[in-house]
Amino acid sequence: MEDSATPTWTVYIDGQPVRIPATIETVRAALVPERRAEFDAEIARTPGLQLAQVLAMWALPPAVWDQIEADFARLEAGDHSGFHPQEDRFTAPDVA
């Protein structure tokens, strides 16, 4: 990957690192013109503590959102293969 003076984030799509824009200006420029007003409005009303999260969500390419939606559909259908709970909530307690 080549170095750039413009800040970027690295995300993984299908296991491969992909750089995405990491400034309000560059995320906005990467959007299709029809989405820019919606982006501007959401960024304007986002609290500072949540700004990085909201900006990252807007910066993700459509392929990532397609994968996220497919993953949620699988989970909703009961297919938990490949997913691991963060907490061990699904084991029965020991019975003395």
Residue spans per domain, the chain:
23-76
Phi, psi of 72 (to 5 degrees): -65, -40
**Does pTM surpass 0.75?**
no
pLDDT computed for residue 66 by the predictor:
87
Q: List per-residue pLDDT tens for the chain, 96 residues long.
A: 455 688 999 988 878 899 999 999 999 999 999 999 999 999 999 999 999 999 999 999 888 888 889 888 999 999 988 777 766 665 656 665
pLDDT computed for residue 71 by the predictor:
87
Residue 21 vs residues 2, 9, 11, 84, 96: alpha-carbon distances, Å: 14, 6, 11, 29, 55
